[in-house]
Structure 1
Amino acid sequence: MKKTPKKRRSSINFIEIDREELSELVSAIKAVLSGYNYFPSEALNPARGDEARCAELELFKSVNDRELMVMQLFAQGRNNKEIAKGMFLSNKTVSTYKKRLMQKLKAKSLVELIEMAKRNALV
């Protein structure tokens, strides 16, 4: 009697991809399926990625310590009320910090702020 190997389960639950990355992935798949080679745009033009990172880091210069702390706490999954309680602030003050962060870092949403925090190793 021959034993069949057990199937391995993947430990990946999800993959997070933004629109640019998804567009890049679709282009790569189409190119490969058509028999072509594919090189990511950052590999062909690495300076473009570096410029974007530098510009983003430049934006952080205008962020004060309290705002940075609030951003880190949001990135850790805390909400306004939890942050306010932990920092001994009012909920309104935390909302003001969040609003200022979004303006200073040119983020359109809290999700975008959290992604910036992760990209810049603030979490």
Structure 2
Amino acid sequence: MDEILFAAKHVLNGYLFFPSDILNSISGLANLGESATPSHTLTAREISVLSYLIKGFKNKEIAQVLFISSKTVSTYKTRIMAKLGVKSVIEMANYVTKNNLL
């Protein structure tokens, strides 16, 4: 019940919520930033944006799905690329694939 209340509060505040069992199954993503750049990790929102980017979604499409502006998506994209040390979405997808993160 505590997890349901926690989730409801976060969703109402505009955040995504993933049940703990799902997060445990994708635990490789939680350390995504650490393996690329020490002391940096990807946030939950950056992970969400990353998953859409490597599936080929455009910034505008991601913005619509996540209810944020396309400029915000662009900012997340820039941050993700910096944290992973890549220069393109293709390199980002290769990084994720190479490290079996999705």
Q: Could you say whether these structures have the same fold, taking a TM-score greater than 0.5 normalized by the shorter chain as the test? A: yes
Could you tell me the percent identity over the aligned residues? 40
State the match for 2:56 in structure 1. Answer: 77
State the match for 1:99 in structure 2. Answer: 78
The reply to whether residue 62 of structure 1 matches residue 41 of structure 2 is yes
Q: Which has the higher helix share?
A: 2
Compute the TM-score of the two structures, normalised by the length of structure 2.
0.59
User: C-alpha offsets along residues 13-69 of structure 1, whole Å, 9 cap, x if unaligned?
Assistant: xxxxxxxxxxxxxxxxxxxxxxxxxxxxxxxxxxxxxxxxxxx86227511111011
Cα drift, residue 71 of structure 1: 0.7
Distance 1:81 1:122, change over 3 A: farther
Matches of 1:86 and 1:115, distance apart in 2: 24
Cα drift, residue 121 of structure 1: 3.0
Matches of 2:101 and 2:56, distance apart in 1: 13
Cα drift, residue 106 of structure 1: 0.6
Aligned residues: 69
CA contact (8 A) 2:63 2:73 kept: yes
Unaligned runs of 5+ in 1: 1-55
CA contact (8 A) 2:54 2:89 kept: no
State the match for 2:88 in structure 1. Answer: 109
Compute the TM-score of the two structures, normalised by the length of structure 1.
0.50
Runs of 4 or more above 3 Å deviation: none
Alignment of 1:15-26 (within 5 A): none
Cα drift, residue 119 of structure 1: 2.1
CA contact (8 A) 2:49 2:62 kept: yes
User: C-alpha offsets along residues 61-111 of structure 1, whole Å, 9 cap, x if unaligned?
Assistant: 511111011111111111101100000010000000000001111101121
> SS of the residue aligned with 2:57?
coil
Superposition CA RMSD, Å: 2.2
